[in-house]
Structure 1
Amino acid sequence: MDILGHEKIVNFFDKVLENGRFGHAYLFVGPESLGKKAVAMQIASKLLNSSVENLHKEFGFSFVEQEIDQKTGKTKKGISIDQIRDLINFLSQKSFVKGYKIAIINNAHKMSSITSNALLKTLEEPKGETVLFLITENLDELPSTIISRCQIVHFEPIEQDIIFNYLLELKIDKEKAKEIAELSLGLPGKAIDFVENSGKFDFYKKEIERFESMFGKPFYEKRACVEEIFGNKTDHIAQRDEIRHILSVWQFILSSFLKNACSVKSGLTYDSYIKLNDSISEAKNLISFNIHPRLLIENILLLIP
């Protein structure tokens, strides 16, 4: 598994591993597709003297994330209390083989307050050589009781040139590599997704075009632009996750407006940028709750000049 960028973080954990002074819980924070999980998996493989590919076979490794309901095929609402109880049981088991026990909780913000509370004692009183990696996009979606018991590691988007050069190494056409590197906005996982799945690349470009097209339009036209977003009426959890992804695209494009001095062209002042950005952030946080996505989206549309 290739790690693009994040040299300081990787080097930090290499030194910690060399000194044998690992903390018991780390909270990796940053946008989706930035490489947080890849870094956690790499660290886990080093701690267990394994490879990333073989981690799932290791006795001392556990990976927890939101699951698909096997009966309905729909995405479960979040990480369940049973999953966390199984994890706690795994971490508390004694082993004849000495060494670390590593757990990764991907998208830890998908834990409910009850589920998070069940994990607290393990975070407070870890047994043996236990290391937990919690991964999230947003600290605001985690309880302060969880945050305070972890060492926080912030991940930032990487330089576009790093992604571009990596794509060239994969023998991607130069013009295509340039386009992918630009649209990935510093997210290496996003760039790799674009290479492996042209449908995702087309989806991303479509959302950029959708967002840009709504500036300067009356509200009823903006609302018509987003109507198809609400098309999935069978799996509401998956629909909300997809809308969260769309909002992330909008937010990145909004930030690029400011960086590239496009605000005049779009009619966006600094104050209106702040309000619009805050509205998108709030919608991303609230969409996991029982608030209708349409209401959240329409509040955003009202702030697009």
Structure 2
Amino acid sequence: MQFKKIIGQESLKQRLIETVENGRIGHAQLFLGKNGYGALLLAIAYAQYISCQHKKDSDSCGECVSCIKFEKLIHPDLHFSFPINKNENVTNNPVSDDFLSEWRNLILESPYFETSHWYKSIDIDNKQGIISVHEAKNILKKLSLKAYESEYKFLIIWNAGTMNLQTSNKLLKLIEEPTDKTLLFLIADDEEQLLKTITSRTQIIRIPPIEQTSIVKYLIQNNFSDQQTAEKIAATALGDVIYAEEKAKQKEENLVFFEFFKTWMRACYKADIRAMNKWVEDISSSKYGREERKRFVLYAIDTMREGIILNYAGEQLEEYLGEEKKFVKNFAPFVHARNVLEMNEILNEAHIHISRNANPKILFMDLSMKFANLLHVKNVHL
């Protein structure tokens, strides 16, 4: 991972490079910041730069033997520790090495990811990941050996706040009495999750939010959105590129949901049974899975909410553009004090029932019949 592949953070990149140039590399450093700010990637790029055989002024060379191995995350002196748990394949005293293949694949394919994405990739999304005492013993064993190829051995502990007390105490000993030529990089988003005895003994590097201009550039270059949409998303992302990317993907999906919602509401308003049945057949088909149906229901709830806000507060529809915005404005008068609560209630119930594997044809036809009545409820003008 070269610094140039990391979104924004130019000032911090330069500071890290200067620590190497000035011979001031702390043996235990805490990279403190959200996953969406790039903390993990900065730590990897920093380690690669330190090990690079032909360093440049602003980055590692990316071409030497060391860099090539770092780029693939297979350098023998680069070690990772991260939260894990048992799954179907690993059932006894799991350690990070058991999941290295999945870890490397996730970083190489989707460098910016949340903890939930990691858990899902190793099939433990219904469990709490931890860095256990078994992991601590494995760490101490690996770091007791000499470096193979680099001047230093590197241990990057991602999501360090998931260490249990025993692990934290063993790590504390490693920080206080480091093995020769070993660099520890801890990654965390909340300082309070770590023992104060650990944070007080590490050099803290606070990762700032990514600049808006860098997020805009990233969204456009990766075809997530156009300039106007990218600027709107970046303004609300608060420097978190994971949030920005998910928001951009949601925008694209929402355009599909918009056409679906528009067709549905028109069929319901006309009480057109044939059109409603066709729509129900479509959303119940294999083209859409349970999660897509759940997200569509959430989109419908959001649209109802925007309609009522527009009706009574007259606020601008910042989340909508073009035809979608025009439709919501025209639809808003049909959502009012006398029907919005029931609309919201039946949609929320539908969301729950979908999660419980309700029959989609029965569920959405029932919803359609109810909306056919609710859309004709007259508002009371005081």
The TM-score, its normalising length taken from structure 1, stands at 0.62
Q: Tell me, which stretches of 5 or more residues in structure 2 are unaligned?
A: 53-66, 90-122, 255-294, 310-343, 357-382
1:66 aligns to what SS in structure 2?
coil
Question: Which residue does 1:150 correspond to in 2?
Answer: 202
Alpha-carbon deviation of 1:175? 3.0
Question: Which of the numbers 119, 123, 131 marks the counterpart of 2:175?
Answer: 123
Question: Which of the numbers 156, 167, 170 marks the counterpart of 2:222?
Answer: 170
Cα distance change of structure 1 residues 96 and 166 upon mapping to structure 2, 3 Å threshold = closer
Counterpart code for 2:237? S
Structure showing greater relative contact order (alpha-carbon pairs closer than 8 Å, 6 or more residues apart): 1
Cα distance change of structure 1 residues 134 and 81 upon mapping to structure 2, 3 Å threshold = same
1:33 aligns to what SS in structure 2?
helix
1:43 to 2:46 alignment: yes
Question: Which residue does 1:29 correspond to in 2?
Answer: 32
Cα distance change of structure 1 residues 52 and 176 upon mapping to structure 2, 3 Å threshold = farther
Question: Which residue does 2:86 correspond to in 1?
Answer: 69
Cα distance change of structure 1 residues 86 and 232 upon mapping to structure 2, 3 Å threshold = farther
Quick one: distance in 1 between partners of 2:151 and 2:86?
A: 33
- Maintained 8 Å contact 1:34/1:190: no
1:7 to 2:60 alignment: no
Deviation sequence 1:230-277 (CA, Å, 0-9, x none): x999xxxxxxxxxxxxxxxxxxxxxxxxxxxxxxxxxxxxxxxxxxxx
Counterpart code for 1:56? L
1:102 aligns to what SS in structure 2?
strand
Cα distance change of structure 1 residues 55 and 24 upon mapping to structure 2, 3 Å threshold = farther
Percent identical: 30
Alpha-carbon deviation of 1:60? 0.5
More divergent stretch after superposition (95-104 vs 55-64): 95-104
Q: Tell me, which stretches of 5 or more residues in structure 1 are unaligned?
A: 216-220, 234-305
1:10 aligns to what SS in structure 2?
helix
Which structure has the bigger radius of gyration? 2
Quick one: distance in 2 between partners of 1:66 and 1:183?
A: 29
Question: Which of the numbers 74, 80, 85 marks the counterpart of 2:132?
Answer: 80
Quick one: distance in 2 between partners of 1:18 and 1:194?
A: 39
Question: Which residue does 2:71 correspond to in 1?
Answer: 54
Residue pairs, 1:1-305, within 5 angstroms:
2-49=5-52, 50-51=67-68, 54-71=71-88, 73-74=123-124, 75-95=127-147, 97=149, 99-171=151-223, 172-194=225-247, 198=250
- Maintained 8 Å contact 1:92/1:127: yes
Quick one: distance in 2 between partners of 1:128 and 1:115?
A: 21
Quick one: distance in 2 between partners of 1:8 and 1:52?
A: 26
Quick one: distance in 1 between partners of 2:154 and 2:245?
A: 26
More divergent stretch after superposition (125-134 vs 76-85): 76-85
Cα distance change of structure 1 residues 105 and 22 upon mapping to structure 2, 3 Å threshold = same
Question: Which residue does 1:271 correspond to in 2?
Answer: none
